[in-house]
Structures are given as C-alpha cells and as structure tokens.
Amino acid sequence: MRLFLLFYSYTCLQYSCHFIIYHFSCIFLLEGGFYMTYKVVSLGAFYLSGLKREFTTETMGEIKPLWDELEHNGTLADLQKLNDVDTLKGHIGACIKTEPSEHLNYLISVATKEPHENYETAYIPASEWVVFDAIGPIPTAIQETFEYIYGTWFKDAPFRPLQTADLEFYPLNMNFETDNPKVEIWIPVERK
C-alpha cells in the first residue's frame, strides 16, 4: 500500500471511495520473486455475442484451433463489427459459469450493448471486475494466471468471485507476434 500511496498520492481506500471506475494497480510479490498487478474496474451490464462450444478437461486443447478456424473463416472479423462496448474493444474468450459441471462453456465473442440474433448471447450484469495481465506464451500464461487468481489471490483479497463469466480479453491492438503477448483476465467480483 505504501507503494500505491507514493505513486498515486492516495491510499487504495481513499482512491476507491472517490471514483466510480477504478484504474489502479496493487502489486503483490508472488512466490518465485515476480510481481502480479491488478486493477479494479466498475462496468455496466453488457452482452457477449459469439460462438459457444462446450469443452472438458480432455478437450480444452481444441480451444486454440477453434480460435484459428474462426479467424481463418472470417467469423472474428464479422464479430468485431458488432463490438460496441468501448471498454472492451477486442475479442473475448468467456468461461460462462453455470451449474457445477465437468464441462466448460466457452464463448468466443465480443462485448455488445444488445444481443444479436445470428450469434449465441450471454447477458453479463453490471459489476466490479478485477483485471490481471497474463503475459507470456498463450495458453500457458492464461492458465497460470487463472491458477494464481483462484488458488492464491482470492484467499487474501477483499473480493470474492461472482458466478457469471470469467473473461480472457484480447484487445484490438494486441501483438500476437511477440514472445510475451499480454492478455487481460477479467473476473467479476463482489466485496467481502
């Protein structure tokens, strides 16, 4: 917290009390000596419109080829034309949370203000979101970031996850050609 105060001239609490949208990073030193930062964003309700598939732990390796197929056949470009939520300009891989299950409902989508009849749609209610950067080779960096968030971070965090959808956000300006691409992980939360 002292680092936050020096950098922003506010404490985290002072900052969160005065602003509706939070754009700050808190820094935690992780086991192994590297830092994980996050920000908290308050976001109104929106829809995810896209293509949904069900995966199991055995078939999760098929997610990346599905992204490749949708890029190759023009579906991702078509979806991007529908993307009208300014905060989330880019593509989203959403893990839709439903009843406890061995299956993962995964939606390759964009954020929209209204549902679109040509695509499957998920309503995402207004909430606060914790946003982490997953930096490194995809999908390894994404998997490791999710493991950290749910295995370590939530234990001591002032938040608990909501059961709506966890998002992998791929901004429009994302550079996939680098050795360490940056994907944002968005988790809807409520305060403890």
Other Cβ atoms closer than 10 A to 139: 18
- How many alpha carbons fall within 13 Å on the CB side of residue 37? 11
Q: What is the pLDDT along the chain (192 residues), one digit of tens a residue?
A: 333 333 333 333 333 333 334 444 444 444 444 457 899 999 999 999 999 999 988 898 899 999 999 999 999 999 999 999 999 999 999 999 877 777 889 999 999 999 999 999 999 999 999 999 999 998 899 999 999 999 999 998 999 999 999 999 999 988 888 888 999 999 999 999
CB 109 within 8 A of CB 48: yes
Query: 3-class SS at 191?
Result: strand
By three-state DSSP, how is residue 157 classified? coil
Question: Hey, where are the domains in the chain?
Answer: 12-191
Superfamily holding 12-191: Regulatory factor, effector binding domain (3.20.80.10)
The β-bridge relationship of strands 90-96 and 165-171 is: antiparallel
Closest among 191, 43, 187 to 126, alpha carbons compared: 43
